[in-house]
Structure 1
């Protein structure tokens, strides 16, 4: 087995020094009231971790506890998802633990800087990032999903992309007699993490030693969309999971950051997915090659190629103006920067309202079939 551990920049800017509860954690009580069953399988683990942290004598002990807790949570959530077809328990259990890390009792004094470093450590391990392992001699697929989002609209919202990450992680598929292994991670819905380099830190090892396919996934519209032209700028006028807006709008799109500097790169990039193969998987949901974009000069059009966009300012990529578009842009920009020829691109899944186990299971099954088609010769 080969272990590739990415050292990710998870910003986790929850508070400056007091480590007060984050906006995500502030929703926990409402989530418990609406969905009391979700955390039940994790309550013992959460209680044991709290007791162990209270007895910890130094930071080394806390590090070990949080690495173990993150890995256990990820693995337990994977197992539970196979039984319940639900991504939400992982999200809410993670928040229960991050709140403990933030303000829970320890056996020694720790400042805000130390607690923030523990938050980042726990997140890396509870998002599947440190669990990415490939068996030698197989084709390698890397897939990412997202946390649930827009939770102030629907506290019980699920995200089929996160479910796909849980159900497909570690799975082997057969493609023309060749085994392929899927490894996954789940991204936060937080602008600050993207600005801090989350995507770049996650994907760089798997582009420098290229895997056979990188697919980022998020929840989208009515059908499946393969997003041809991701755009650079943020223009969606709605918040992330910390209730932060970027200030970007359809008339004033803003540039993202990368580790304190403006994100470099062209206004648009183009996916490198094996589109013809993937478009053969048209059931139970329709799959589109979505090329529609918007610029400051023109709204809602489909360019023939990237050259046509050379002098344009991006407003919306094919995937919109939010983090789903941005994870696709960043992954492709990084691929091009590193000079890699690996197929990379983004899938928007059909949308679900709140939670729909049957529909989400069908979505994940069709994603798996698209991955098989993508690797077929």
Structure 2
């Protein structure tokens, strides 16, 4: 028996002592407990799955079906079980069951380790919508891409660690599922079409170029997107429009696989972001200070978003009043003034920001972007760097959305409750309003 991955070991995590695993509960409550058993049966059909190519087609199809089922459930097209319609978490836990099955699968034919890893890669991408993005070819269509993230900070893996952390959802993931395929009719007679995908909270998949290979084809050519917006979970009670994104990603903060990249000099291999060579047009290794650049900047319509008061009709679950969440132009960042010394310097730390924030100096190295230096910042950096490389006219930037995981006291044994749902639904609603503002500027 193959040992489950670090992430897959959380399939056994429980909320309270002697409880049923949280993953089991949420998959039963959503009707998504059907995907893993069907996937296992299909993989083991030796009459159909006779080669690597057969298995590759099956894995891709199964991942796409899981993604589409999650989109359909959130958008109300096919709802099974008692879990609220707008929940995003069943997709994450169903995927983990399927990746574990694939890891432990013993095919009837010879499968190399490289081929097995390729199948895992295909399942990861397919189940996050990365193969499903398609736009109409109509010249009157305005194309927008939005990304979200998996849940993260889920706690220590293993059945011996009861913890409510495992209940965490990611509002950016809920937004992506809610907005996939949505359209906006615009005053000029055109139609804006949104396609979405999810990203893992996993350094390794970013370093393999998962994000670039997903969106780069949509940044080029006649049918390119007009906007590409990355989203992730940020802080409490506010949306942050992140102004700068940094190339540095060493945080001392573990990803979902348990990997920690210690804070160190930017020139140390693990500390810096390296987009794929075929995307950049040159090999970024060994480290060179400005290949690629240390900072990128948002091109989202900040003034329009701030002026729109997108939360005015939304009830804030914390205050119970209309007004939703604050939307803040977030301009802080940090640098290594000397790229070969660990000393850092902070800029634009005040909120709200100065009218003209101080921009990064050309000779400094990035230590934090406006959204920090974890994977949220990394998704924003890679997205905006692609814009700079391929099509500077594209509106690209990152939106940090408020934290949604808030439960009523005493509900430690509950997989969901009214407060948790109110946070998620209000965040999704206001994010949709913000996206609508961006669309109107295209």
- CA distance in 2 between partners of 1:273 and 1:169 (Å): 20
Structure 1 residues 107 and 314, CA gap change in structure 2 (3 angstroms): same
Q: Which residue of 2 aligns with 1:8?
A: none
Of 106-115 and 258-267, the range deviating more from structure 2: 258-267
Q: Which residue of 2 aligns with 1:70?
A: 63
Residue 188 (structure 2) pairs with residue 185 (structure 1): no
Unaligned stretches of 5+ residues in structure 2: 15-19, 77-84, 157-164, 277-283, 312-323, 337-343, 407-415
Q: Which residue of 2 aligns with 1:11?
A: none
TM-score (norm 1): 0.89
- CA distance in 1 between partners of 2:86 and 2:97 (Å): 21
> Contact between 2:246 and 2:294, CA under 8 Å: does it hold in 1?
yes
Structure 1 residues 250 and 365, CA gap change in structure 2 (3 angstroms): farther
Residue 54 (structure 2) pairs with residue 61 (structure 1): yes
Residue 275 (structure 2) pairs with residue 255 (structure 1): no
- CA distance in 2 between partners of 1:200 and 1:36 (Å): 33
- CA distance in 2 between partners of 1:48 and 1:108 (Å): 20
TM-superposed CA distance for 1:147, in Å, is: 0.4
Residue 211 (structure 2) pairs with residue 171 (structure 1): no
Aligned 1:94-113 pairs, distance under 5 A:
94-113=95-114
Q: What is the aligned length?
A: 360
| Larger-Rg structure | 2
Of 337-346 and 162-171, the range deviating more from structure 2: 337-346
Structure 1 residues 54 and 293, CA gap change in structure 2 (3 angstroms): same
Structure 1 residues 252 and 58, CA gap change in structure 2 (3 angstroms): closer
Structure 1 residues 175 and 366, CA gap change in structure 2 (3 angstroms): farther
Of 259-268 and 362-371, the range deviating more from structure 2: 259-268
- CA distance in 2 between partners of 1:316 and 1:308 (Å): 11
> Contact between 2:310 and 2:434, CA under 8 Å: does it hold in 1?
no
TM-superposed CA distance for 1:130, in Å, is: 1.0
Structure 1 residues 19 and 299, CA gap change in structure 2 (3 angstroms): farther
> Contact between 1:228 and 1:291, CA under 8 Å: does it hold in 2?
yes
Aligned 1:5-44 pairs, distance under 5 A:
20-30=3-13, 33-40=21-28, 41-44=31-34
> Contact between 1:196 and 1:257, CA under 8 Å: does it hold in 2?
no
**Offset from partner CA, 1:202-232 (integer Å, 9 cap, x none):** 2211111330111000000120000001111
TM-score (norm 2): 0.76
TM-superposed CA distance for 1:109, in Å, is: 3.2
Residue 153 (structure 2) pairs with residue 150 (structure 1): yes
> Contact between 1:171 and 1:182, CA under 8 Å: does it hold in 2?
yes
**Offset from partner CA, 1:14-44 (integer Å, 9 cap, x none):** xxxx964211111111166135332221233
Q: Which residue of 1 aligns with 2:239?
A: 224
Structure 1 residues 250 and 219, CA gap change in structure 2 (3 angstroms): farther
RMSD: 2.3
* Correspondent of 1:298 among 341, 345, 349: 345
> Contact between 2:50 and 2:108, CA under 8 Å: does it hold in 1?
yes
Q: Which residue of 2 aligns with 1:313?
A: 365
TM-superposed CA distance for 1:308, in Å, is: 4.5
SS in 1 for 2:192: strand
Of 278-287 and 235-244, the range deviating more from structure 2: 278-287
> Contact between 1:143 and 1:182, CA under 8 Å: does it hold in 2?
yes
SS in 2 for 1:326: helix
Structure 1 segments of 4+ aligned residues over 4 angstroms from their partners: 249-253, 302-308
> Contact between 1:207 and 1:340, CA under 8 Å: does it hold in 2?
no
SS in 1 for 2:229: strand
Q: Which residue of 1 aligns with 2:119?
A: 118
